[in-house]
């Protein structure tokens, strides 16, 4: 007999070693997330996937599924908290969706829509963040980095390189690259690397490709992020996942 947990009252099967996120995704249950990616080691930093397991607050992407777990996921309280977290991400960086080339393909924007985020709520930091356009093919716009570390993990775990890292703590946290000069052009990043395509926002971009996908054909033009994520992330792990 299969082992099960319950999520919002529904029995969900799991296998030993699976996280709550993995069990939920396999069963077609969406748990909002930004730093989670099924191909990479869980990081548990964005906190959007926060669920209640037998009353205790946990990150679904890191917490192992186990018999007897009663998980609350799609509740008003949790979604309200997720919305606040998303609002904090928006005000911490400089996210100008109207002119951003990632609009319509951006997971941060899509999750904000999913959570019915209608304003920023918090005062903007208007942080001074730089651009690094030194690389011929790939650009970093630090204004849009949410420190999910997906580029760090993709570079290490998929590309076999070590191009990105997070430096500093708290409000001084920032993305750095592995070069003496601090510039992307002096790293061994190539445009074909998974790390150059993995960013869930518009922080790491392939140059000169913006706006080539017309409105109406972008990833989230007709589908919400839950539908897209479940279709993409419940596939066998070996396949590549690219959110645009």
Partner 1 sequence: MYEHLETAEQTENLKRVVVDPVSRVEGHGKVTLLLDENNKVQQARLHIVEFRGFERFIQGRPYWELPVLVQRLCGICPVSHHLAAAKAIDQLVGIDPENLPVSADKLRRLLHFGQVMQSHALHFFHLSSPDLLFGFESEISKRNIIAVLTDYPDIGLQGVKLRKYGQEVIRMVSGKRIHGTGAIAGGMNKSLTKAERDYLLEDIDQMITWAAGSVALIKKVHCSNLPYYDDFATIRTNYLGLTKPDGALELYHGGIRAKNDKGETILDHFDYCRYNDIIHEEVRSWTYMKFPYLLSLGKEDGWYRVGPLARVNNCDFINTPLAEAARVEFKEHSGEAMVHSTLAFHWTRLIEVLHCAESIKELLHDPDIMGHDLVAQGERRFEGVGVIEAPRGTLFHHYQVDENDIVTKANLIVSTTSNNMAMNESVRQVAAEYLSGRELTEPLLNNLEVAIRAYDPCLSCATHAVGKMPLQLELVDAQGRLIDKLIKHDDGQIERLDG
Residues that bind partner 1 (CB under 8 A): 98-99, 101, 131, 133-134, 139, 207-208, 210-217
In the complex, minimum distance from the CB of residue 135 to partner 1, in angstroms, rounded to a whole number: 8
Calpha distance 226→6 (Å, rounded) = 19
Element (H, E) at 25: helix 20-26
Q: Closer to partner 1 at the Cβ: 171 or 215?
A: 215
Calpha distance 170→108 (Å, rounded) = 20
In the complex, minimum distance from the CB of residue 97 to partner 1, in angstroms, rounded to a whole number: 11
In the complex, minimum distance from the CB of residue 200 to partner 1, in angstroms, rounded to a whole number: 19
Contact between 100 and 106 under an 8 Å Cβ cutoff? The reply is: yes
Question: Cα dist. 21→8, 14, 38, 135, 170 in Å?
Answer: 14, 10, 9, 35, 26
Unique residue bearing structure tokens 């009353």: 55
Q: Closer to partner 1 at the Cβ: 72 or 206?
A: 206
Q: Closer to partner 1 at the Cβ: 100 or 115?
A: 100
In the complex, minimum distance from the CB of residue 112 to partner 1, in angstroms, rounded to a whole number: 18
Q: Closer to partner 1 at the Cβ: 130 or 242?
A: 130
Burial class (CB in 10 A: 0-12, 13-18, 19+), 1: exposed
């Amino acid at each position: 007999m299969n082992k099960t947990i319950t999520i919002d009252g529904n029995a969900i099967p799991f296998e030993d070693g699976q996280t709550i996120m993995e069990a939920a995704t396999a069963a077609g249950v969406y748990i909002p997330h930004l730093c989670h990616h099924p191909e990479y080691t869980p990081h548990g930093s964005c906190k959007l996937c926060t669920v209640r397991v037998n009353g205790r607050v946990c990150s679904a992407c890191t917490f192992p599924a186990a018999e007897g777990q009663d998980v609350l996921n799609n509740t008003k309280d949790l979604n309200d908290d997720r919305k606040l977290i998303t609002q904090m991400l928006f005000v911490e960086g400089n996210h100008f969706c109207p002119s951003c080339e990632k609009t319509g393909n951006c997971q941060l924007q899509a999750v904000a829509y999913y959570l019915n985020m209608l304003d920023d709520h918090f005062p903007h930091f208007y942080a001074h963040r730089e651009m690094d356009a030194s690389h011929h093919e790939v650009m970093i716009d630090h204004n849009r980095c949410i420190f999910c570390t997906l580029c760090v993990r993709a570079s290490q775990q998929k590309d076999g390189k070590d191009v990105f890292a997070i430096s500093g703590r708290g409000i001084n946290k920032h993305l750095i690259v592995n070069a003496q000069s601090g510039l992307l052009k002096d790293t061994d990043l190539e445009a074909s690397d998974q790390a150059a395509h993995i960013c869930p926002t518009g922080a790491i971009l392939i140059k000169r490709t913006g706006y080539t996908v017309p409105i109406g054909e972008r990833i989230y033009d007709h589908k919400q992020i839950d539908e897209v994520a479940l279709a993409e992330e419940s596939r066998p792990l070996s396949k590549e996942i690219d959110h645009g």
